[in-house]
Structure 1
């Protein structure tokens, strides 16, 4: 029997969860191994393995999926053939309906979905947390085993500075429902029908700008999208261009700092990830000119 805190592979977690839930996991194919491990299973089911201690987050994701679908935003749907979440040790496994043959959304599709999402009245059936952009960042920097002390000292100083800059912004507008990780890969388009929202673990109450800044930095700092594509995003959202907001650079710097912190958190077991984390830190420190090129993790 798995004990809370025991480390087992994601494949083992999947096998144990499938046995508990009566789910056919034969021939499972790993789709992704990141903060969540995701597997495609037979019969059009996708398994999503949460981090240790995230059972309540998994429960909330299931509630959010039902709520968004009921409120006109097409969202990944939980598989109704199994009781959820399934707990293996202290890791929750949720089961979802496969979305076949999809592509990442266009910037315009993403802007249109966010415009709808940000106008929703928050749910009354369950609480949404407040968005916490700095959550876990300092601990990740302090515990990172793959950086030298010069980088650690710089990152901690930058962390303190970013928190102060953020506190100095003031509230741009009252908080609304936000996705919290609004990039094109988290809104996917099937061959027909509306684009479908994925990855619900960061849905929360927060500034709308947090959902707009991710595509904006793709445009301003990475040049991953063209002028026309960014203009289509702004137009679909209703004409509000977050890059023209006085607080944009603060949120952009925090978002990029978070992406570097994510790489640090995954760099213990992979030379490629260690190299990518070092590259991201060098960019943040001004040692690499923009536009930057960062590898997806």
Structure 2
């Protein structure tokens, strides 16, 4: 990868044009959908382009394409990588190209979410090597964002992460380990133009405890109220296991709350609303208070 410029709204379009030239697709009238860890563009033709912020992600984006090809060969309904040689280097930023399944993001019903997770867990592993899930290593890599918080909140989160890490190391998982999505939840299963469910966001694929693909649905129901009891019971019935019946659920749920909070803490230095939301979240975790008022970001 070459020396790279920062990924901003101004530079991202230039990277897009250079990436599109290499795979011979037309960037005219491309629309910037999102600018975060990736710049995500929707082209005039049904193609999504993701331009990574960091060249160090080239291994990860290469694996995303491998995962997409594997799932396609298995006939599994996931986002498809465009049939081009990728990723490509856009001035030091890896770019990938994906078939757009819909012009809007409509989330699948919870029954279909559970079915896709179950079907994923039933697949034979791919021929290439997936990384082992290392959830606390992922948290460690993000601890620098604690500098954006006041000292008391930062110290509390560090201590809590240490406690959860120790408890996690003693867990006995009831489900057999295997291939996991890593961030499975209703937000990552969208409906295609034909109304069929499609799994998206393949960057967290790994081998590890399958409970990680169940915890967010339980958390969204139990603590946030984003799923109804009926929806959660449907999820459990379709998948075939209730993670909330397992004693280790609270450890995984606590991890997910911290992960969501650290992600938002990354925005806290430049966004007063994000900073206030992070403080509110930390207070609710510290006090054991309700999470029902956690605002989406």
Conserved? CA contact 2:72–2:78, under 8 Å: yes
Tell me the equivalent position of 1:13: 15
TM-score normalised by structure 1 residue count: 0.91
What SS does the corresponding residue of 1:30 show, helix, strand or coil?
Answer: strand
Cα deviation code 1:249-274 (max 9, x no counterpart): 11100111111111112333333322
CA contact (8 A) 1:108 1:236 kept: yes
Please give the secondary structure, in 2, of the residue aligned with 1:251: helix
CA positional deviation for 1:227: 1.0
Name the counterpart of 1:153. Answer: 155
Equivalent of 2:202 in 185, 189, 200: 200
Q: Give the Cα separation in 2 of the matches to 1:73 and 1:151.
A: 43
Task: Give the secondary structure class of the aligned counterpart of 2:134.
Answer: coil
What secondary structure, in the 3-state scheme, does the structure 1 residue paired with 2:33 have? strand
Alpha-carbon shift at residue 243 of structure 1 (Å): 0.6
Is 2:145–2:265's contact at 8 Å kept on the other side of the alignment? no
Verify the 8 A CA contact 1:142 1:152 in the aligned structure 2. no
SS of the equivalent of 1:192 reads: coil
Within 5 Å, give how 1:184-195 maps onto structure 2: 184-192=186-194, 194-195=196-197
CA drift at 1:73: 1.4
- Matched with 2:253 is 252
Is residue 274 from structure 1 mapped to residue 275 from structure 2 by the alignment? yes
- Unaligned residue ranges in structure 1 (runs of 5+): none
| Counterpart among 23, 29, 32 of residue 31 in structure 2 | 29
Distance 1:196 1:143, change over 3 A: closer
Contact 1:180 1:211 in 2 (8 A): yes
Distance 1:107 1:160 in 2: 33
In angstroms, what is the RMSD of aligned CA positions?
2.0
Distance change in 2, residues 1:277/1:33 (3 Å): farther
Q: 2:130 aligns with which of 121, 128, 131?
A: 128
Measured after TM superposition, the shift of residue 2 of structure 1 is 5.7
Whole-Å separation in 2 of the counterparts to 1:26 and 1:119: 41
Q: List aligned pairs for 1:135-146, cutoff 5 A.
A: 135-146=137-148
In structure 2, runs of 5+ residues without a counterpart are none
What corresponds to 2:119 in structure 1?
116
Where does residue 63 of structure 2 map in the other structure? 60
Mapped contact 2:115–2:239 kept (Cα < 8 A): yes
Q: Counterpart of 1:290?
A: 290
| TM-score, normalised by the number of residues in structure 2 | 0.91
Q: The residue matched to 2:136 in structure 1 has which SS?
A: coil
**Equivalent residues, number:** 292
